[in-house]
Structure 1
Amino acid sequence: MSSFSEFLESISWYHWLIILLALTILCALLVEIIYFIRTFNCVFYAKFIKKRIHILEKCSVGGICLTRDIDTMLNHMNNARYFRELDLARIDFYLRTRLYDEVRKNRGQIVLANANIRFRKFIPVFGRFKITTKALYWNDDSLFLEHKFIGKNGVIHAILLCEQKFIKCSGENVINALLSQGDPVLSKPEMPLEVTKFLEFQEVSRKTLSSSTV
C-alpha cells in the first residue's frame, strides 16, 4: 500500500495531464460524449427547469448545427443528425407531458417503431433551429408524433411523422390518464389524414416484407 502511494506521489502534474488527456481521447473514441452530456442536460431541464405541459400541447427544444454535425459538403447538417436531434426532442416531450412516468406506472415501455421525414431546406452550419413536438393521434398500440425543424424567420427545414410503439401496456389507458389531468379535460382528436396515409404505407411495407425473400 505504501509503495502504491509513493508511486502516485512520484507522478508529476504533467504526467497526470497526459493521463487525463489520454483517457478523454479514449472515451471520445468509445462513446459520443457530447451526445450523452446533451442528453443529461435535456433530462435535467425537462424534469426540474421547464414547466409541465399537457399531452396535447406542443413543446420545443433548441439546437444548433455545429461542425461535427455537417456532411461531406461541409456547409449543412448531415441527414442522419436530424434523427439524433429528435432523440432529445422526444425526451423533452416524454418528461414534460409525464408520458414516460405514466408508461412506467403501467409497467410498460415506449419505443420508436416507424418514421417518415421530409426535408425541405437544409440547415446551414452554425444555423440555429428549434424542434417542435406535437401528439397527433394514438390508439391502443401506438402514439403518433409530429416533429418540425424550424429555423430563422419560421422557415420549416424538415417535418417528420413517427410512430411510438407501446410495449406491454395499453396506449389508450396511458393517454386517457394524461388527458384527465387537463383543465378542461380534452378529448381524443380525429385521425389526421397524414396519419391515415402513414398507416396505409406501413401496411403496404409490411406485406411487401412478409412476401419477399432475402
Structure 2
Amino acid sequence: MRYNIYVGKIFLLLSIFSCLFNLTFLIRRSISILAENVWMTPIFAFGLLSVPYVTYAVRAYVEVIWNAYVPDLIGRKRFGLMKEHVYSSIVLPSDCDIYNHMNNSRYSREADFARTRWYCDTGLLRFMQKTGKYLIMTASTIRYRRSLEVFQSFTIATKIIYWDERNIYLQHKFLTGSNFVNSIIITRMRVLAQNKSAEEFLQEFLGTSSTLEKSPLSAELKHYLNYLETCSNNLRPSSSFVIPK
C-alpha cells in the first residue's frame, strides 16, 4: 500500500506540471480568442466553473467501471461484506481551503468515493443493479479531530457497524500515520427492498438464511439514533416543537 502511495504521488506531481504547462498555453490562447470574440466570455467562464464537477463525475465513473465490472471479466475475488474495507486517497490542492488543509465538505465527498469502492469491491453494487434493491443515505454525522494537509495521504476504513429493522449503519474512519483517526463519519443507509428488512437484505446478498451476528449497539451510535428519532419527531407536522428565541 505504501508503494502505491509513493507511485501515486509521483504521478500526481507529473500531472500537476503537465496541467500547469497546458493551462498556460490554454490561458494565452483563450485570451487571444476572447479579445477577438467578446461574446464567448460567458461560455468560457461557465467552462471554468464546470471543471471541478466534470472531474468528480469522471472519477466516479472510473471507480464504478474499473471496480464493479472489470472484476467480473477477469474473475477477481470479491471483498467480504462484513470485513473492514480500506480505501486509499490523497489530499489534492483542489480539496483545500484558504487554510491549506482539506475543506470540511471534502470529507463527505471522499467518504462517498470510499463507499462506492466498498459497493464495487464487495459486489453489492452489481447485486443492487440486478435485483432493484438499493441502499440510500438518509442521515450522516461527521466528527473532525485533526486536519488533513495538502498532499497528505490517508486511508478510509469502511465497515458495517449495526443494522436495525430498516437501516444499515456504516462507519468511515479517516486514518493517517499510525492509524490515527483524523475524522469519523457515521451514515444511515435506508434499505429499499420490497418491504424486506435490513437483515433480510443482507441475508439475500450473502446467500444465507441463518441469523446474522452483528456488533452490539455502541454508546455513541445509541446517542446518534436517539438524536435522529428526536429530530424526526420535531419535524413532523403534529410536533409542538418551538425554536427558542
- Identical pairs, percent: 26
Q: How far apart, CA to CA, are the structure 1 residues paired with 2:44 and 2:151?
A: 25
Aligned length: 193
**Map of 1:6 onto structure 2:** none
* CA pair 24-127 structure 1, distance change in 2 beyond 3 A: farther
Task: Please say if residues 191 and 201 of structure 2, whose CA atoms lie closer than 8 Å, have aligned partners that are also in contact.
Answer: no
Match of 2:226 in 1: 200
Summarize the Cα distance change of 1:29–1:159 in structure 2 as closer, same or farther, 3 Å threshold: same
- Mapping for residues 121-160 of structure 1, pairs under 5 Å: 121-160=146-185
Q: Is it true that 1:167 corresponds to 2:192 in the alignment?
A: yes
Gaps of 5+ in 1: 1-13
Say if 1:180 and 1:186, in contact at 8 Å, map to a contact too.
no
Higher RCO structure, 1 or 2 (CA under 8 Å, sep 6+): 1
1:176 and 2:199 correspond? no
Within 5 A, what are the aligned runs for 1:42-81?
A: 42-47=63-68, 48=70, 51-73=77-99, 75-81=100-106
RMSD: 2.8
> Cα deviation per residue 1:191-212 (whole Å; 9 max; x = unaligned)?
4213322211101111222324
1:101-133 deviations in Å (ceiling 9; x for gaps): 333344233211111111111001111111111
- Structure 1 partner of 2:15: none
Pair 41,107 (structure 1): closer, same or farther in 2 beyond 3 Å:
closer
Partner of 1:29: 49
Contact 1:113 1:163 in 2 (8 A): yes
Aligned with residue 99 of structure 1, among 92, 115, 124: 124
TM-score in terms of structure 1 length? 0.78
* Distance in 2 of aligned mates of 1:54 and 1:186: 17
Amino acid at match of 2:158: T
Give the superposition deviation at 1:51: 4.2
Indicate the structure with greater helix content. 2
Q: State TM-score, norm by structure 2.
A: 0.69
